[in-house]
Each structure stands twice: as structure tokens, then as C-alpha cells.
Amino acid sequence: MNWHHSGFNIYCGPAISPGERGGLEKLAQYIIRAPLSQERLIYIPSSAVPDGLARVIYKGKNSNVRESFTALDWLARLVTHIPNKGEQLVRYYGYYSNKSRGMRKKTDIDIETPAPVDSDITKKELRRNWARLIQKIYQTDPLLCPKCSGHMRIISIIEDLAIVKKILIHLNLCGSSLPSVASLH
């Protein structure tokens, strides 16, 4: 195969340049929003309630609406969001939601596919991007040699499990719990 996949970008709003701080923050808030927030939960222990039942009060994100649940009722509502074993739970929001797709289909806008945004970042810089992101998040340079502090470069990626096992055994980094190559295929 000689086809090179360039990756995915599911954000369908206007293009955001890397220097546009406000736009990047809004996009990050959209991406990382959780279905519930611990910051909006208030737990009241059973010792503080006259009826002796622990309570959970959940406050809405953009409203002053508060709902009060007994602790067991809260857990019952919470576990309904956990998928059964083997069940795929995919939820589509924003551009890919059923509502948005239906509205586009009614207006025949869905046929127009936005063209990919040209980036001034080269393919070589994109390949190096993973190291920059690891460095930014974990404050450690994955390409810094632990022995001499020199800058390393990747010369090969080894995917063959038998070769990886041989290297680990040679370096005495192989634990006794290493699975066999046949069991992984």
C-alpha cells in the first residue's frame, strides 16, 4: 500500500490557526465537555439529613436548576449511561448529530463537503508533532537521551512482536508475564 493517510479532523467550524488562542480554547471546551461534572455535584451525608438518607444535589451547567436525589437513586441514574458488555456506545454531537444531519438533508446542504484547509505545517513537522505534544503535556522530551541528554531521532519503528521480545530479553527488561507471540495473533 502506498496510500498515506493524513489523519482526521472532525471539527467543521471555521478554521482555527495555531496562534488563535481564543478559538483554540473554545474548541477545547467543546471537545472535552463531560456528560456530568463533579464540580456541579453536592454530596450530603446521611448524618446531615433528617431522614437519614444520603443525598446528591446536581446543579445544571447554565441554569440555577437543582435536582436532589438519594444516593442510591443517583447511582441508578448514573449507571444507565454505562453500556452493556460488548455494546458500542457512540454519541454524535454538533455537526454529526442526527438533528443536524436531518436539518441539512431537508435543505440539501449536506451534499456540499467542505474542502480540507491547507496547512502551512509540512508533513515532516506533523510527524514530529507527537513528540512536541508529549513534551507539552508531560513536561518531558521523549526524544531526549536519558544517558547523555543528546537529542535522539527515530530511525525505525519495530512492530514485529518476536523482534520486540528478543530486544527486551537482550536488555533484561523482559518480565516473566510477557505473553507469547502466538497468543497475541
Please state the rounded mean pLDDT for residues 81-96.
74
Greatest mean pLDDT among 13-22, 66-75, 133-142 lies in 66-75
Residues 95 and 111 in one domain: yes
Q: Residues 6 or more apart from 111 whose CB is under 8 A from it?
A: none
Residues 169-183: tens digit of each pLDDT: 898 887 655 555 555
Tell me what pLDDT residue 52 has: 87
pLDDT of residue 139 exceeding 60, the answer is: yes
Q: Is the pLDDT of residue 135 over 50?
A: yes
Best CA proximity match to 43, nearest among 56, 30, 33, 34: 56
How many of the other CB atoms lie within 10 Å of CB of 101? 13
Same domain, residue pair 29 and 1: yes
Amino acid in the structure at residue 155: I
Q: Does residue 142 fall inside a structural domain?
A: no
Burial zone of 71 (CB within 10 Å; 0-12 exposed, 13-18 middle, 19+ buried): middle
Please choose, from the candidates 124, 141, 123, 122, the residue with its C-alpha nearest in 3D space to the C-alpha of residue 132. 141
Residues 24, 93: one domain? yes
Same-domain check for residues 92 and 31: yes
Amino acid 148: pLDDT: 92
More confident residue, 127 or 77: 77
Q: Could you give the 3-state DSSP secondary structure of residue 66?
A: strand
- Domain of 58 in residue numbering reads as 39-73
Q: Tell me, yes or no, whether 44 and 105 share the same domain.
A: no
Give Cβ neighbours of residue 83 (< 8 Å, ≥ 6 apart): 89
In a domain, 164, yes or no: no
Banded pLDDT at 4 (limits 50, 70, 90): very low
Number of domains within the chain:
2
